[in-house]
Structure 1
Amino acid sequence: MGGACSRKRDQREEEDNLNGGGGVSRRYCKSGSSKWLATSFTRPAVDFQPGNGKCPSLLDLCIRKIREDIDKYDTFSMLPRDISQQIFNELVYSRCLTEVTLEAFRDCALQDLYLGEYPGVNDSWMDVVSSQGSSLLSVDLSFSDVTDSGLIHLKDCTNLQALNFNYCDQISDHGLDHISGLSNLTSLSFRRNNAITAQGMSAFAGLVNLVKLDLERCPWIHGGLVYLKDLTRLESLNISWCNCITDADMKPLSGLTNLKGLQISCSKVTDCGISYLKGLHNLSLLNLEGCPVTAACLDSLSALTALQYLNLSRCCLTDNGCDKFSRLVKLKVLNLAFNDITDACLVHLKGLTNLESLNLDSCRIGDEGLVNLTGLQQLKCLELSDTEVGSNGLRHLSGLVNLESINLSFTVITDSGLRKLSGLSSLKSLNLDARQITDSGLATLTSLTGLQHLDLFGARITDSGTNYLRNFKNLRSLEICGGGLTDSGVKNIRDLSSLTLLNLSQNCNLTDKTLEMISGLTGLVSLNVSNSRISSSGLRHLRTLKNLKSLTLESCKVSANDIKNLQSNHLPNLVSVRPE
């Protein structure tokens, strides 16, 4: 969370998590300073840190030495492929690869080139990429400056199985022609592309082995889905946030009987379009967030016998017709957030005993409606944010012993109501973003020793209340924002050694002493102490936090230059800083 304490109660997250709030996890924008936090490169770098007590392997030592002396090598083509691959991976992970050093990997028969979000990648890199020939299996060039011309080089890499061109906005229909012959492709992704059109999608018609296709945020593909009708092996299709998609685009999908996941959120598809999907008996995930569908679409959805994950957030649902929910007995995840439904709708969820996640965010749900959830014993995640639920309703949740996550933000829950949660021993995440929660409420939660995430954003927690935090030894994420904390209260936080995220913003009386006290929380990855009395002299206490990736110090007596010095000299993993 940022420096501000207030949140928009109806703020739309563009790409939420289907399990809690929507579709797909959001990627960082191309110019974002923190994009390396979400890098698509997943292989670990050589783990060699002098003094950590571990003896590195001889291979690790060699790779580390090669990385340091990379400018001295002209080619690695004589090395075994697996060794060359590890050297390449290490250079990418450590950001030591350049267009010049890339030349050493020409003709190395590498199998995987993960260059997603790597700076400087453009067409001039593609000749070396293509030199891997038939050995090349997967390439990630997301966020790069590769153009249509660069894709010409991939024609001879006939064994390619996976290509990722997300956010490559210089690739158009012409570029698709160059990959149309790669019939071994099983995974292809072109997220956020404004140049691909329906006509260009004809290049996909020959990719008969395609299993996964991602065209999220491609606004000109209306009419192009007809070229997918013979891709019978397709199991996953993402065309979310393509506002051009209409009911007519659903008809070509009706024969894709192997389809297991379909995401069409924020499109123009209506109940009529959903009727074309009735024959997709293997479909287990359907994301319709923001589509103008009503409860009438449940007639078609009830024919989807394998359906387990359904997102109807921000649709046009009312209580009318919700009785058909009772047919969807295999559902594990159901998102009904931001719909005009009331307690009357919840009556028809009683039989969905396989439900593990239910999202009712911003629905007109009250205390009495929660009685219909008492039989959902498999429920692990419950989202009740911005509803009319109060303390009395929580008594209906006390028997849901498998609950691991509850969001009660922006409700009218009070301290007394929290006592009804004290028996939920499986609870790991609790959001109490509400002004009426005080130290007294926190005291009633001390039995929940398994809590890993606790959000008290906006709650009236004081120094005395932080005494109760000592019970939560497993906490990984803690937010106490806008409370009345001083340095004295922070002393009760400094022993929570499992913390990876700490947000203490809007506590205006915190000083440099706070940074000194949390200097032992070496597992911290994200720290926010905005709008406090932190000064430049206190930054020295953060030098021990070597795992820190995100640091927010807005409205503090620190300059961007002070933070940059800390980053460059002491915190090499810090990639997101505010102020910049």
Structure 2
Amino acid sequence: MQRRLPLAGVWFGLVVAFLLSEGSGRGQPNEPAGKAKLRRLPQEVVQRWRAAGAEAGWLRVNEYGFIQFLEEQEAQAGDLPGFRFRTRPGDGVVGKLPAPGAPFGLDLRGSTITDTRLKEIAQLQNLQSLNLMKTRITDAGLKEIAQLKNLHTLNLWGTRISDTGLKKLIELKNLQWLSLSLTQITDAGLKELVHLQNLQTLDLSGTKITDAGLKELTQLQNLQWLSLSLTQITNAGLKELAQLQNLQALSLSFTPITDAGLQHLAKLQKLQTLYLFGTKITDAGLKHLTPLQNLQWLDLHSTRITDAGLQHLTHLKNLQTLNLDDTPITDAGLRELTHLQNLQTLNLCGTPITDAALKHLAKLQNLQTLDLSFTPITDAGLQHLAKLQNLQTLYLFGTQITDAGLKHLTPLQNLQELYLSRTRITDAGLKELTQLKNLQRLKLGGTQITDVGLRELSGLKLRELIIPDEAQTNLGLKHYLAAMQPPTRLSLSGWKITDTGLKELTQLKNLLELDLGSTKITDAGLKELTQLQNLQWLDLSGTKITDAGLPHLVQLQNLQGLNLGSTKITDTGLKELTQLQNLQALWLDNTRITDTGLKELTQLQNLQALWLDSTRITDAGLKELTQLQNLQLLYLSRTKITDTGLKELAQLQNLQELDLKRTPITDAGLPHLVQLQNLQGLYLYGTRVTVAGVRELRKALPGCIILR
């Protein structure tokens, strides 16, 4: 499903998210806990929230400090039950929902929630975890959050809060976990945090703090987890951190620290996790870490560490996770690692090690996760891995492995994840993989596997399977589903499947999301989808769908999101869509829709997001849209909308994001937008609007980001 993120800079956000999560997220797979041990909310409460557009699941803070939203099969005992909204809940919706009578969490990450709507959230006094990551919450919204006295976890990653807003958070005496990553927080704001004496986890990555601010943090003596990645902290700042005697995890990735600064860390005797990814640390610096006998996790990704430096690590007997990705270590250096008998996770991606090195690794009997991606190893080296009976995850991306090497993996009966993309394996090798009965994730992208060969995997029960483009056919889909556990989300975008292939989907009764974008399906195939009564999101963009196929979609009454962009539908077909009263997001971009069709859309009163880019609509059609008072996101780029039409848009008081790129509007139309006081994002690229016009509009809409 193509869901656009508000505002520009999406790729930057993805890159930073990678850095702040300290790598690729490769860790030990989560063992499913017994269902009876999970904390659950009353079923009637869950049903009411689902009816309002929320997903029900569980929340967990993972080992990288990120809040995860988990489905039933991923949840473990101890996870917090909760809900997730994909868009902002409709006005007043949360206030009308039954408040769970037990502790729960709410994930609004990336949604269009506003400061005003947080008033409803503030009524939920049992709320313990709130994720507002990448939303447009400002300091004004923190005033509402301050009423949540039982809040333990708060994620403000990438929001628009500043030092001023932190003053409001001092009321959250029970707060234990706080992320301020990628906000405008400075040293001045840290003075407010000293009131949060129960704080155990604090993420300040990507903020403007300096060494001076760290003096304030020394008052937080209960702090256990601290991230300073992507800040300007230097060696001088590390001297202050030495006072945090309870610190267990510290991230200094992409900071200007050097070897000299590490000597201050030797005083942190409780330290268990240390990230030094992308720093200037050398072999000499590792010597300062030897007193840290409780260290279990060490990330040296993209540092200057060599074989000589690994000798210092042999003193860290409790080390369980070691990341040496993209370092120049060789086979000789790995011999030193055999002393680390507690090692469970080892990342050697992009290093120059050879098959000879794997003989040393075979001595690490507790190893559970091993990454050998993009190393020169071959089939001959894999025979040494057969001794690693506890191995659960193995990365072999971009290696010289062939079918002959896979037979060496069959003794690894505890293997759950196997990554073979961009290797030389073929259909013949898949027979070996069927012996790995506990396999859950398998990636075969960029290999010579065919749709016929996938039949060999039918005995597996995978949760994730990635196959080459050439295998993405009707036959491939049949074998693909036979190898999978019944999915709730399925992306077939770009597959070569036709209407015949859709028959394979009819048994997926629990499917919630289906992406068929850019496939070869037609109207006839949509009849098969009518059996998917739980479907909530459907992407048909770039297919041959016409008006004739839309009557089949009417039977999918639980649909909340529908993408018909770049199809041949017309105004006539929109009459059918009026029966989908739960629809919240509708993509009609690059279709033949005109003003006439917009009259039909007025019946979709729950619509919150509408894409009309590159359609034939005019100012006259915008009069119809004024009846959609719940509309929050409206995209009108490359249409004939003029200044006159903007007068109509002024009536959409809940509008938060408006795209007018490459329309003929001018400065004369901008005064109409002043009435949109909830507007937070406005795109004006390629219009006749001037710099002066934007300057005046920014004065009237100070909370709106205007891109020209």
Give the alignment's TM-score, normalised by structure 1.
0.76
Alpha-carbon distance between aligned partners in 1 of 2:550 and 2:632, rounded to the nearest angstrom: 15
2:260 to 179, 201, 223: 223
Q: Which runs of 5+ in 2 are unaligned?
A: 4-13, 30-61, 68-79, 104-114, 595-608, 614-624, 634-653, 662-682, 684-708
8 Å contact from structure 2 (residues 448, 468) kept in 1: no
Alpha-carbon distance between aligned partners in 2 of 1:471 and 1:175, rounded to the nearest angstrom: 58
For these two proteins, the number of residue pairs brought into alignment is: 537
The alpha-carbon deviation at position 370 of structure 1 amounts to: 0.5
1:461 to 490, 497, 502: 497
The alpha-carbon deviation at position 245 of structure 1 amounts to: 2.3
Alpha-carbon distance between aligned partners in 1 of 2:132 and 2:315, rounded to the nearest angstrom: 45
Equivalent residue number for residue 465 of structure 2: 430
Equivalent residue number for residue 24 of structure 2: 16
SS of residue matched to 1:18: coil
Q: Taking structure 1 as reference, are residues 479 and 569 closer, same or farther at Cα in structure 2, changes over 3 Å only?
A: same
1:345 to 376, 381, 388: 381
Q: Kindly indicate whether residue 423 of structure 2 is the aligned counterpart of residue 387 of structure 1.
A: yes
8 Å contact from structure 1 (residues 84, 110) kept in 2: no
Alpha-carbon distance between aligned partners in 2 of 1:557 and 1:226, rounded to the nearest angstrom: 67
Q: Kindly indicate whether residue 201 of structure 2 is the aligned counterpart of residue 162 of structure 1.
A: yes
Q: Taking structure 1 as reference, are residues 542 and 270 closer, same or farther at Cα in structure 2, changes over 3 Å only?
A: farther
Equivalent residue number for residue 450 of structure 1: 485
Q: Taking structure 1 as reference, are residues 409 and 172 closer, same or farther at Cα in structure 2, changes over 3 Å only?
A: same
SS of residue matched to 1:216: coil
Matching of residues 102-251 of structure 1 within 5 Å? 112=152, 114=154, 116-117=156-157, 119-130=159-170, 137-155=176-194, 157-168=196-207, 170-193=208-231, 195-240=232-277, 242-251=278-287
2:363 to 327, 339, 354: 327
8 Å contact from structure 2 (residues 128, 151) kept in 1: no
8 Å contact from structure 1 (residues 16, 25) kept in 2: no
Matching of residues 285-296 of structure 1 within 5 Å? 285-296=321-332
Which amino acid in 1 is paired with 2:415? L
Which amino acid in 1 is paired with 2:522? T
8 Å contact from structure 2 (residues 127, 150) kept in 1: no
Q: Which has the higher contact order (CA 8 A, sep 6+)?
A: 1
SS of residue matched to 1:126: helix
Matching of residues 519-538 of structure 1 within 5 Å? 532-533=567-568
8 Å contact from structure 2 (residues 137, 160) kept in 1: no
SS of residue matched to 2:430: helix
The alpha-carbon deviation at position 460 of structure 1 amounts to: 2.7
Alpha-carbon distance between aligned partners in 2 of 1:50 and 1:290, rounded to the nearest angstrom: 49
> Which has the larger displacement, 399-408 or 145-154?
145-154
The alpha-carbon deviation at position 373 of structure 1 amounts to: 0.9
The alpha-carbon deviation at position 2 of structure 1 amounts to: 6.9
> Which has the larger displacement, 456-465 or 108-117?
108-117
SS of residue matched to 1:406: strand
Deviation per CA, 1:289-336: give whole Å up to 9, x if none.
222222333222222222112222222222232221211221111111
Alpha-carbon distance between aligned partners in 1 of 2:227 and 2:190, rounded to the nearest angstrom: 14
Q: Taking structure 1 as reference, are residues 347 and 249 closer, same or farther at Cα in structure 2, changes over 3 Å only?
A: same
> Which has the larger displacement, 224-233 or 178-187?
178-187
8 Å contact from structure 2 (residues 421, 446) kept in 1: yes
> Which has the larger displacement, 313-322 or 326-335?
313-322
8 Å contact from structure 1 (residues 545, 571) kept in 2: no
Alpha-carbon distance between aligned partners in 2 of 1:91 and 1:323, rounded to the nearest angstrom: 45
Q: Taking structure 1 as reference, are residues 102 and 312 closer, same or farther at Cα in structure 2, changes over 3 Å only?
A: closer
The alpha-carbon deviation at position 228 of structure 1 amounts to: 0.8
Which amino acid in 2 is paired with 1:189? S
Deviation per CA, 1:161-208: give whole Å up to 9, x if none.
33221221x211111122234333212112221x11122211111111
Equivalent residue number for residue 360 of structure 1: 396
Alpha-carbon distance between aligned partners in 2 of 1:458 and 1:341, rounded to the nearest angstrom: 33
Which amino acid in 1 is paired with 2:222? N
Alpha-carbon distance between aligned partners in 1 of 2:491 and 2:462, rounded to the nearest angstrom: 13
Alpha-carbon distance between aligned partners in 2 of 1:413 and 1:45, rounded to the nearest angstrom: 37
Which amino acid in 2 is paired with 1:509? K
8 Å contact from structure 2 (residues 151, 174) kept in 1: yes
8 Å contact from structure 1 (residues 430, 455) kept in 2: no
Alpha-carbon distance between aligned partners in 2 of 1:556 and 1:327, rounded to the nearest angstrom: 61
Equivalent residue number for residue 38 of structure 1: none
Q: Taking structure 1 as reference, are residues 407 and 115 closer, same or farther at Cα in structure 2, changes over 3 Å only?
A: closer
Deviation per CA, 1:268-294: give whole Å up to 9, x if none.
222222221112222222222222222
8 Å contact from structure 1 (residues 431, 455) kept in 2: no
- Supply the RMSD in Å over aligned alpha carbons: 4.9
Q: Taking structure 1 as reference, are residues 52 and 206 closer, same or farther at Cα in structure 2, changes over 3 Å only?
A: closer
Equivalent residue number for residue 36 of structure 2: none
Equivalent residue number for residue 523 of structure 2: 487
Alpha-carbon distance between aligned partners in 1 of 2:560 and 2:317, rounded to the nearest angstrom: 43
SS of residue matched to 1:435: helix
Q: Taking structure 1 as reference, are residues 70 and 155 closer, same or farther at Cα in structure 2, changes over 3 Å only?
A: closer
8 Å contact from structure 1 (residues 431, 456) kept in 2: no
Q: Taking structure 1 as reference, are residues 105 and 464 closer, same or farther at Cα in structure 2, changes over 3 Å only?
A: closer
Deviation per CA, 1:444-482: give whole Å up to 9, x if none.
455446242666555432221221222444556655565
Alpha-carbon distance between aligned partners in 2 of 1:68 and 1:297, rounded to the nearest angstrom: 57
Equivalent residue number for residue 405 of structure 1: 441
> Which has the larger displacement, 570-579 or 274-283?
570-579
> Which has the larger displacement, 430-439 or 108-117?
108-117
The alpha-carbon deviation at position 127 of structure 1 amounts to: 3.4
Q: Taking structure 1 as reference, are residues 351 and 496 closer, same or farther at Cα in structure 2, changes over 3 Å only?
A: farther
Q: Taking structure 1 as reference, are residues 558 and 359 closer, same or farther at Cα in structure 2, changes over 3 Å only?
A: farther
The alpha-carbon deviation at position 88 of structure 1 amounts to: 10
8 Å contact from structure 2 (residues 139, 162) kept in 1: no
The alpha-carbon deviation at position 435 of structure 1 amounts to: 1.6
The alpha-carbon deviation at position 229 of structure 1 amounts to: 0.7
Alpha-carbon distance between aligned partners in 2 of 1:345 and 1:91, rounded to the nearest angstrom: 45
Q: Taking structure 1 as reference, are residues 561 and 442 closer, same or farther at Cα in structure 2, changes over 3 Å only?
A: closer
8 Å contact from structure 1 (residues 521, 545) kept in 2: no
Which amino acid in 1 is paired with 2:442? I
8 Å contact from structure 1 (residues 261, 283) kept in 2: yes
8 Å contact from structure 1 (residues 446, 472) kept in 2: no
The alpha-carbon deviation at position 243 of structure 1 amounts to: 3.8
> Which has the larger displacement, 273-282 or 227-236?
273-282
Equivalent residue number for residue 35 of structure 1: none
Q: Taking structure 1 as reference, are residues 152 and 43 closer, same or farther at Cα in structure 2, changes over 3 Å only?
A: farther
> Which has the larger displacement, 374-383 or 290-299?
290-299
SS of residue matched to 1:252: helix
Equivalent residue number for residue 34 of structure 1: none
Q: Taking structure 1 as reference, are residues 24 and 258 closer, same or farther at Cα in structure 2, changes over 3 Å only?
A: closer
Q: Percent sequence identity over matched residues?
A: 30
Alpha-carbon distance between aligned partners in 1 of 2:251 and 2:549, rounded to the nearest angstrom: 46
Q: Taking structure 1 as reference, are residues 471 and 151 closer, same or farther at Cα in structure 2, changes over 3 Å only?
A: same
Alpha-carbon distance between aligned partners in 1 of 2:290 and 2:591, rounded to the nearest angstrom: 57
Q: Kindly indicate whether residue 273 of structure 2 is the aligned counterpart of residue 273 of structure 1.
A: no
8 Å contact from structure 2 (residues 530, 552) kept in 1: yes
Alpha-carbon distance between aligned partners in 1 of 2:137 and 2:524, rounded to the nearest angstrom: 47
1:470 to 506, 516, 530: 506
Q: Taking structure 1 as reference, are residues 338 and 124 closer, same or farther at Cα in structure 2, changes over 3 Å only?
A: same
